[in-house]
Every structure is written in C-alpha cells, then in structure tokens.
Structure 1
Amino acid sequence: MSPADAGFGTALRLHRAGCWAQAVVVYDALLADPRLPPVQAAQAHANRGAALRRLGRVDEAVASCIEALVRCPDMAEAYANIGAILQEADHPLAALDACRRAIALSPGLYTPYLAIAHARQDCGDHDEALTLLHRAATLAPAAPSVRYNLAEALLQHGLFEQGWQAYETRWQVRELALARPACANPEWTGQDLTGKTLLVVEEQGFGDTLQFIRLIPLVKARGAHRIILQCRAPLVRLLAGTEGVDAVTATLPDARSYDLWVPLLSLMQRLAVAPDRIPATVPYLTPPPDAVRQWARALPETKDLRIGLVWAGDPRLGHAAASRTDARRSLALAQLAPLLTVPEVSWVSLQKGPAAAQLEGMAILDPMTGVTDFADTAAIVQQLDLVIGVDTAVVHLAGALGVPVWVLSRFSGCWRWLLDRDDSPWYPSLRLFRQQQPGDWAPVVARVREELLHTVRLPRHDRGQA
C-alpha cells in the first residue's frame, strides 16, 4: 500500500467517525504532497470540503470542492457537496442546480437527493421533499442520516407510525452527536411491564423532555410497578411532581435499581401514539410549592396584561448544524420592538443565555437572573396571561402548564408543529404564527401585534381564549 493510500484510509476512518477536524488535517497533509495523483487529489479536495462543511467553515468548504472540480470536472460528489453547502447557507435555488448536476453525473448517488430535499423544504415544497427523501432511502436504505431526515419529514406530515420507527436511527447520525445512554439492563421495546421498574432516560433538548414527559402515565398504565426518570439537573425539581413518576435523578442509577430502560423519545414508537391520540390534557406539569412561594411576589401587581417574552434559543456555537437551526429560529429583541408599543401590557423577560444582554435599556422586567432551574421558570410563567416566544423550551413549558402561548415559527419549521395549521395537537393553549418567507420576521411580528391589540381590548376573563 502506498503512503497516499494509507493516508486516505486514515482520513476516511476519521471522516466516517465524525472526527472532521482531524480528517481535515490528514487531507491537508495529503494535498501538500506534489506527488499525489490528480484523481486522488480531486477526491481529497472533495472529501476535505465535506468535512469542512460539517465544521461550519462554509467558504473553505466551497473552495475545496471547486478545487476538486478543477481537477475532475465530472466529479458528482463535489457537486453534491456544493449543493449541501449552498442549502445550509440559505441559497436553496443555487443548491438545486448543483445537486441536479450531481444526479445527472451519478444517478445512484443518494447525497444530492438529501440536499435537494432540504432545499425543497426551504422553499416550502414539503410534499416534493418527502418524495426525494424516499428516493434517497431507496438508494441508501442503511444510511442513518437518510433515515433520520426521512423520519422528521414523515413526522411533519403526521405519518407517525413510519416516522417514529425511522426516528430510531437517531443514535447513529454523527451530525447529531447524540450519546446513547450506557444502561446495562435490557431496553424496553414493548415487553410486559407488570411488576417491573422502568428507567426512562431523557435525551436531546429541554423542550423535548418537557414535550414528551406527558407519556409517562401511559407507560405506568402498562403495569409498571415503578418508574424512575433520569434527566438533567435543571429539570429535576419540576419533573419530580409529574404524574406516574416515582423518582427523579440527574445521574444514571445503578443497574440493580431498575429492570428495563427506554429513551424518552422512543416512547412514541413503543406506545404507538397516533396524531389524534396525543395526550393533550393540560396542565400536565405544575411548579413545586416551594418555587411558587419563592416567586409569588416577584412580579409587581398590575392591571395590565402580563406577557412573557423569549426571542432566542441556545446558539450552540460548537455544533454547526444546531447553530444554523438556532440562527433561523431566533430573533434580536429589537425586531420585537413593535410589540412593546402595545398599551396595557406589562412585559416580562423569560430569556436566558447571551441574548438576555439585549435587555439593557428596555422597559421589560427581568426576573431571570434569579432563576436556577425550570421549576423557578414555571413558577413565573404560571403567573402570566400569555407567553410570546420563538421555538424554545420555554414555549413547551408554557404549553405544558396550560398557559396561553404564541409561537413565532420559522418558515421551514420544526417537524413537531406539522404543516398548514396554526394550532397544535400537543398543546391546546398554543397558537403558531408562521413565517411566510424564509428569514422574514417583520410580517410575523406585525400579525402578532394586531392579535395582541385585539386581546388587550377584551375583558380580562376572555383574554385567555384569544
């Protein structure tokens, strides 16, 4: 084996393991060798571009793929990489052109179908996107990224049985960087729970946990003797009072304390929950008494409408894919300025993280500096007449508490809000205000302002129904 072949082997192993930064180093070393044959140089540039894309280094990724095409003009993989990069950089039409070129050169390559599907979603054509994802799954049925993206599209269309089954591949998708819980005991896949202790393990974001914790009573009804919930510390105090939960812990318990375990988001598949059978009785969460007492006087008395506001999510700067999603869902507080001119409203910030710095100089009460966990936030939210926010854990919390909540949703919205509706089967108190054009928040804010003006004119006892 030549040194170049050995180097390629090392780079590919790192690449396929999701060690993209290390792979780039090896590709750079290969490309620094003037003896590298042109075909291998083209492949190294294309692969390097794919790795740089995963690292969020967009300009370098495109340049590397272009270098591949200079050396090998008919390299379908390079065109597919460029298409994926352009789609993620919010240039869906340009992405379509690059991906179509890739398909023309190599009809059996699945990656351009995946990128085109995302581009069609960005253009609002969700039916075509689903068709393309099915095509990608036909070409690469074992590829976890294809199955996962197909799962989200199926769920967005309300096709829960197929969607939740495909969603089980999430642990293998390197871009998600999900760590499968290291539980020693068998996983619950539907076997008899009578007399058993089941460990339910949270996963992914806080919002996911708040959304799917409602399923615990359904599991308990299957005959489980005891249910232990493992979740991160900021949720422990709030979820300790959840119906059906016997104990909550922030760390994985000893294997001797439970018989079976299950990831929280797998409960939809294990329980075969259909869209019209989602448990939507609210509230299914209640702040603990100590938090209620602590925050009872945190909000000053007022005859105005009390509205909580959250405008940004977690930027997750170390995770390129998550950071892109957050950039699409989040706003700057200044973009919500038209709302702040509505009379008879007392504004309360529910914002945590770096975006809270935007409050300086604003006439918005900020109790969040004293908040230590979601129990504290729940005690504040419960005192509000309405919550207005982007798609973050706070809107799930409000929905779970039964507090009216208006969600500002990005154009290519999260799968959980389904398609073509402004209500939600997950939360009866929730209304969706969707973008009509990608990235254009001004019309959304204008619609929210009009609805808010209508709401403040209503008698106080009718405001919760607005």
Structure 2
Amino acid sequence: MSENQAGMQQQLPVQAVPEQVAALAQYKLGCTLQEQGRLTDALTSFCRALTLKPNYCQALCNLGVVLHKLGRSGEAIQCFQKALALEPDAANSAKAILWYNLGSILLEVPRLPESVAALRQAIALQPDLAEAYTHLGNGLLMLQRPSEAVAAQQQAIALQPDLAGAYSNLGNALQAQGKIADAIAAYNRAIALNPDDPDVYNNRAQAFLLSGNLARGFAEYEWRTKLNWLRHFYERFEDKPRWQGGNFAGKRLLVYDEQGCGDAIQFSRYLPLVKARGGSVQFSTKQALLRLFDNFPGIDELVEHTEAAITRTQSDLTVPLMSLPHIFGTTFHTIPANIPYLTADQRCVAAWRTKMNSPAATLRVGLVWAGNQANVSGQIRTCGLQAMSPLACIPGVTFYSLQKGEAAQEAHTPPSCMQLIDLTADIDDFADTAALIMNLDLVVSVDTAVAHLAGALGKPVWTLLPEAGEWRWLLARTDTPWYPTMRLFRQSAPGDWSGVLTAVAQELRKWKEM
C-alpha cells in the first residue's frame, strides 16, 4: 500500500462533535507521525484515538496501514475488516480502497481465495483502480490460473500504461504459460519504466534461464542479491571482498549456500572447480547438509550456516554458491555433470539396508509427495500421497516414504493397495536420506531437495513438475542436463497431477518389466 492509498483513507468523513475533539487530535497527530515515518509513534496515536472513539473508521484505516508496514499483517487485516463493517454506506471510492488494502494484505499472508474476492470487490466499486487489477492478477497466478492473471495485468496496463509493476507481473504470468519471448518483452517494458527495480531483473533472469540462455540468465541472476526478501542471505557476508573467479592461492574463500537445500545440492558441484583456482575453500551450509558434505571434494572446511559459526570463521573472500554458474561461464555444454558427485557413507548405507524388510525381488521405490507448505511455490509443487494412487496396485513394487515435514503424516493412510514402508522417523539429516536412497531402485519425487539429492547420487529419479515449471527444468523437456539419471514428468494443465501420475504408473510398469 502506498502513501497515496493511506492518504485516500484519511479522506473518510469525520463527524467532529465536541466530545470527539481529543480523538480527532490523536488521529491528526498519528497522520503526521505516519508521514514522518515514525510508525511506532503513529500506531500509539491511532490506538489512543480508537480508545476515545472505538468506531473511528479513519483511525482504523490508518492503523491498518501502519500495522501492515510494521509486519503485523493479522492485526492489519482485522482493522480493515472492522472498518468495512463500520462503513457500509461509505462512498464507493473509500470502500474500494478499504477492499484493496484488505485484499493486498491477504495476498501477502497468503489467503488467496479471500484476497481475490476482496480485490474483486474493490474493482466492482472502482473499476479504474489499476493497482487492484495487478494485485488480482498476482493472486490468480498463485492460484494457478495464468490465463486470467494475464487478462488482469493487461487491464491494469490499459488503465495505467506507466504502471511498471503491472508489466513485471504480466511477465510472470506469461512466463508461467511458457510464453518466454512475450514475458521478456513485458520485463523489458517494466525496466524501461523503472530501471532500478531488482525484482524485474531477477524475473527476467529466470525467463532467460528457462529459455535455455544460461550465460545471459546466470549473469542477470546476480540481481537476486539485491532483493529485499532475500537480503538476509547476503548481508552478513558483505564485510569481506567478493570473489570474482580469479586465483586465490594462499587465501581462504568462504562459499556460502543460499535459498533452499535443493539449491545447495544442485550447485555444490561447482566447488571442485573453485578449489582448482587457489587456496582453502570453506563451505557454509545448513546443519541438515553438513554430514552429507563431509569429505566432499573441493571443501577444505565445513561451516554450519549460523551467525555464530560464520562469525567465528576466518575468511579472506566470500561468494554465494549460486553465483558460481555465472563465474564459470556455464552453458549447456559446460554444466559440471560428472555424476555422481555426491556419495553416501557406506557404513550408513549398510545400516539402512538392515532396516529395510522388502523381498529382494521386489522393486524398491522411494516417494516424496509434498514441497514446503509454508510458501505458495511449495504448495504448487505438492501433489499429495493420495494422488499417487495410480502407482499403488503395480505388483512387485514396495514403496518407501522419503517425505519429511507435516505432510509425512499422510504415510499413515496410504492409497488402497499401496505397500508403503515409512522409516523416516530414523532420518536425522540428508546423509541418512542419501543412505536410504542408495538402497532403492528408483525415487519418484515432486520438485524438492530429495529429487536433487537422488540426481546428485546418480540414482534413477523421476521428478514430478507443475505446469509452470521452474527455470532449472527448462521448457517441455523430459530430461535435464543437470542430472543425467533424472526424468521429468510435467503437468499438461495447472493442477493436473492425475495425468502426471497416470503417466508415471505406465512408465513404472514398463520399467519393472525390463
């Protein structure tokens, strides 16, 4: 929400009567403090105004704006909902802004169906509210309705041709449809209107990568380090010089992982190339990956990815892990794909073998059915165990759960006829997962770190992808240059896991008979 929108809220009518003078004074003080950026003080003033006058709609609106800026989204939502209930007869423009603000915060939470409904209410009341259309488009895209998202963004642009964010959001929706040239054109227009927005460059980078232009894509992907929502990955390392790829003999280079565990597994393949250029290589990664990377070629020192451990580490240079493809000028022909580049500890593999109780002649298949439910992209990548029911009745197959997290509970109620063994209570980290995978014949996984792990171990892995595939999986391919033992199974329409799992079942029957 912009200051202009907050200002629009301030125009709601105030009935100034003698007993409301104190409330009005606190409200005006809050507005002044809000304009000065003194949000905590503004919050105090608006709360005092509401104590004096509990149904003070203007104070509620501005309080909602302030709470949102302070990161207190749940309370902000309550403010706007109460204001809407208090002002059923307010002017359409005022109510439209209330619905817009409510819908915008619901989009961030995210509570997507509610957000879309609120934004549609805003548009019904004020059809020329361009920013409501672009936020509506974002909500529709996250609900896997890309065609409707494109239409909403185009309407926003028609209403406000200089709205840079709408062009960027249009690019995202077009990219989800696989229309890469059109997406890049939309990003170009957004950059022309606002050349300082790192989000647009980051989005365009992923479009280049998705199209297969790895050199251009990885070069532009460096903009990710400027994104506000990713800054915490990089801030603690900025006090040391950034390694640019030169020889660093006699120095200590700290390579630090970023984003998810799958990213760390995928791009760790570059560490031996780093080691070949100089001195000591330190690798900072998450606790769950430390044992997996023990004795990894190219790593001289493992550092747990915590502030305390990193502070204790003496380094001369730093570089984020996902910058290595750019530093090494990666193209299709130069992707380091010497598989396997990760190995499991043999004693751990043997220990896990004793835990498995399927007949020797049985095909052993590991399953992962859910991504990280804490974010929308993880939800989109999730099919759920019941969707894997087409695999259940294939004779001679024993399935093993590799699923961790809340979705692991689904293993307690597998599809009918599915012989599913769940040993995940004994999995402490990715080293255990790797050892279990080495005892399997095949891994079938949605797009998660486990799929990357199986690929890095050189095990056969079938990865299940949503229609709007991520940049690393390219477009329309059933294979990937990153992992030669991986096959890709893609949705033909948003949300169509049935078609994906039917295809997987057919291939599994063929594979078993080979």
Provide TM-score, normalisation by structure 1: 0.87
Shift of 1:161: 2.4
Shift of 1:37: 9.6
Aligned to 1:304: 362
Aligned to 2:472: 416
Aligned to 1:189: 244
User: Which of 110, 121, 127 pairs up with 2:164?
Assistant: 110
Letter in 2 for 1:258: S
Could you tell me how far apart the structure 1 residues matched to 2:474 and 2:510 are? 27
Aligned to 1:357: 409
Shift of 1:416: 0.6
Structure 2 residue 315 is matched with structure 1 residue 258: yes
Shift of 1:95: 2.5
The correspondence of residues 74-113 of structure 1 with structure 2, limited to 5 A, is: 74-113=128-167
On the 8 A contact 1:77/1:102 being kept in 2, the answer is yes
CA change 1:26–1:275 in 2 (3 A) is farther
Most deviating of 392-401 and 192-201:
192-201
Q: Secondary structure at the match of 2:310?
A: coil
Aligned to 1:401: 457
Structure 2 residue 273 is matched with structure 1 residue 215: no
On the 8 A contact 1:118/1:129 being kept in 2, the answer is yes
CA change 1:141–1:255 in 2 (3 A) is farther
On the 8 A contact 1:181/1:201 being kept in 2, the answer is no
Shift of 1:343: 1.9
The correspondence of residues 20-169 of structure 1 with structure 2, limited to 5 A, is: 20=73, 43=97, 45-66=99-120, 68-69=122-123, 72-169=126-223
Aligned to 1:462: none
Structure 2 residue 227 is matched with structure 1 residue 173: yes
Shift of 1:408: 1.1
Structure 2 residue 498 is matched with structure 1 residue 446: no
Structure 2 residue 264 is matched with structure 1 residue 206: no
Give the number of the structure with larger relative contact order, counting CA–CA contacts within 8 Å between residues 6 or more apart: 1
On the 8 A contact 2:233/2:259 being kept in 1, the answer is no
Aligned to 1:319: none
Letter in 2 for 1:383: N
On the 8 A contact 2:442/2:460 being kept in 1, the answer is yes
Letter in 2 for 1:138: A
Letter in 2 for 1:429: T
Could you tell me how far apart the structure 2 residues matched to 1:358 and 1:171 are? 37
Most deviating of 367-376 and 182-191:
182-191
Could you tell me how far apart the structure 1 residues matched to 2:79 and 2:246 are? 47
On the 8 A contact 1:7/1:26 being kept in 2, the answer is no
On the 8 A contact 1:171/1:178 being kept in 2, the answer is no
Could you tell me how far apart the structure 2 residues matched to 1:256 and 1:350 are? 34
Aligned to 1:376: 432
Shift of 1:233: 1.0
Identical pairs, percent: 38
Letter in 1 for 2:383: L
CA change 1:63–1:186 in 2 (3 A) is same
- 1:417-437: CA deviations, max 9, x gaps? 111211111011011111111
Aligned to 1:464: none
Could you tell me how far apart the structure 1 residues matched to 2:160 and 2:181 are? 24
Q: Secondary structure at the match of 1:243?
A: coil
Could you tell me how far apart the structure 1 residues matched to 2:116 and 2:487 are? 40
Shift of 1:20: 4.9
Shift of 1:62: 3.7
Could you tell me how far apart the structure 2 residues matched to 1:341 and 1:14 are? 53
On the 8 A contact 1:18/1:174 being kept in 2, the answer is no
Could you tell me how far apart the structure 1 residues matched to 2:113 and 2:493 are? 25
CA change 1:437–1:59 in 2 (3 A) is closer
Letter in 2 for 1:400: A
Gaps of 5+ in 1: 317-321, 459-466
On the 8 A contact 1:178/1:204 being kept in 2, the answer is no
Q: Secondary structure at the match of 1:203?
A: coil
CA change 1:130–1:260 in 2 (3 A) is same
Letter in 2 for 1:314: N
CA change 1:108–1:361 in 2 (3 A) is closer
Aligned to 2:52: none
- 1:140-162: CA deviations, max 9, x gaps? 22212222211211111122222
Shift of 1:42: 5.1
Shift of 1:105: 1.4
Aligned to 1:333: 385
Could you tell me how far apart the structure 2 residues matched to 1:7 and 1:15 are? 12
User: Which of 284, 292, 296 pairs up with 2:341?
Assistant: 284
Shift of 1:338: 1.7
Q: Secondary structure at the match of 2:472?
A: helix
CA change 1:217–1:424 in 2 (3 A) is same
The structure having more radius of gyration, on CA atoms, is 2
RMSD value, Cα: 2.9
Could you tell me how far apart the structure 2 residues matched to 1:430 and 1:75 are? 46
Shift of 1:25: 7.0
CA change 1:188–1:255 in 2 (3 A) is farther
On the 8 A contact 2:145/2:494 being kept in 1, the answer is no
